[in-house]
Structure 1
């Protein structure tokens, strides 16, 4: 299956830009080694591109394998951003708030000058998410390695979040399953339950009318952490697809000049 010339060039530019944008990110040594090994796995079937090759000479297979490698680096960037101190807590876009059922309790605490109690609980949930997110590494590598020709074509010609949708479809449910016990361990380690009980103890009358019988904190943190991870991946994907500022190399300028 061949793309139109314009779309073909755009797709190639997307691959190069994804790789260029992701390569600028700082990496933790252990994650970098894992992702380098994954790159060899997903790109091993493709020979080296001749040094004098131009974008128009790249084959569909080379583009697809390049997209796989770029997506591996892209997910690594998101995981590194969130799986560290203040990765969630310090990012307003993905910061985990109190569950909706506890919003009135939070307002009450802040009204009586005890907002720090709510803040401690919020911080504990975000710390648990930060510890759990790196678990996504292996799962994403597996999903990307299993990408078919049709999958890649759908991503290349799809919407701004097509790659993110692919990852959600092929790894979202499994990611929640894997993260759940890790979140439970993390919530115990960082003291989420203790902070939760302290908050209720200090809320006084504000806590009396709140029904928390169906509130599963571990499930809530797991869902919020998973959503935050995919949200960050989608935002990065959209930025790369739409932002000309990211197209800084000579080859990208050449490709877009030919449109």
Structure 2
């Protein structure tokens, strides 16, 4: 990866007139092995991102993709943690568990919709974007996707999650839970925009999984499934 970064940095710094000489020097630095062009490097990055995002989305959109993954399971909203503790103490743990499960089911329903949004952003990557990603942090591609797609994801996820919350009775479970809590004497009433909360947490979990897939492709040779990925990232 260090050598790939060095190769791409040559393309960024020098003009087209000097490109042939720089390319020869880069080849020498790579030990005289296989040579790849700027376009191949950019295409390899796009392929890696499509592979990583598709895998991440597929994992999350399955049943229990969120609910049984402790890294991204959507809990009670932070402002409602006292609600959960109080209701469990009152013997209403099952009601609380139903509410939490329904939040995660809604996120799983929405997750699949991210795939087309990600692919459109990946296809728009320029060679300069690709170079910056390769030279950047190990989650640089994830950061790029987060910048480019979060607004679109929010717009796409919000109505799906709202419909899903109705479908899996999350709104009912939540209303029951909050209604019970708000009737407890002397407690501060809690109001939460459930759809907005689940949408934000679903997107956070999505990017966490995408970042893990990006790291896997950068560091794990076995994750490079095509000849182009092996050719570029193998250097």
Asked if Structure 1 and Structure 2 have the same fold, meaning a TM-score greater than 0.5 normalized by the shorter chain, the answer is: yes
Q: Which has the larger radius of gyration?
A: 2
Q: 1:239, CA displacement in angstroms? A: 3.3
In the other structure, the counterpart of 2:5 is 7
CA 1:236 to 1:94, structure 2 compared with 1: closer, same or farther past 3 Å? same
Aligned match for 2:148, one of 170, 189, 201 = 170
In the other structure, the counterpart of 2:215 is 238
What do you get for the CA RMSD once the two structures are aligned? 3.1
**SS of residue matched to 1:57:** coil
CA distance in 2, matches of 1:108, 1:4: 53
Residue 122 of structure 2 corresponds to residue 144 of structure 1: yes
Q: 1:138, CA displacement in angstroms? A: 1.2
Kept in 2, the 8 Å contact 1:128–1:190? The answer is yes
Structure with bigger RCO (C-alpha 8 Å, 6+ apart): 2
Kept in 2, the 8 Å contact 1:124–1:190? The answer is yes
Where does the alignment leave 5 or more consecutive residues of structure 1 unmatched? 12-53
CA 1:55 to 1:218, structure 2 compared with 1: closer, same or farther past 3 Å? farther
CA distance in 2, matches of 1:193, 1:208: 24
In the other structure, the counterpart of 1:98 is 76
- Mean Cα deviation higher: 197-206 or 184-193: 197-206
CA distance in 1, matches of 2:154, 2:52: 20
CA 1:10 to 1:86, structure 2 compared with 1: closer, same or farther past 3 Å? farther
Aligned match for 1:57, one of 35, 46, 52 = 35
CA distance in 1, matches of 2:79, 2:58: 31
Residue 136 of structure 2 corresponds to residue 121 of structure 1: no
**SS of residue matched to 1:95:** coil
In the other structure, the counterpart of 1:225 is 202
How many residues end up aligned between the 2 structures? 211
CA distance in 2, matches of 1:246, 1:4: 18
In the other structure, the counterpart of 1:74 is 52
CA 1:200 to 1:60, structure 2 compared with 1: closer, same or farther past 3 Å? same
Kept in 2, the 8 Å contact 1:120–1:195? The answer is yes
Q: 1:182, CA displacement in angstroms? A: 1.0
CA distance in 2, matches of 1:69, 1:190: 36
Kept in 2, the 8 Å contact 1:102–1:210? The answer is no
CA 1:63 to 1:244, structure 2 compared with 1: closer, same or farther past 3 Å? closer
Q: 1:129, CA displacement in angstroms? A: 0.4
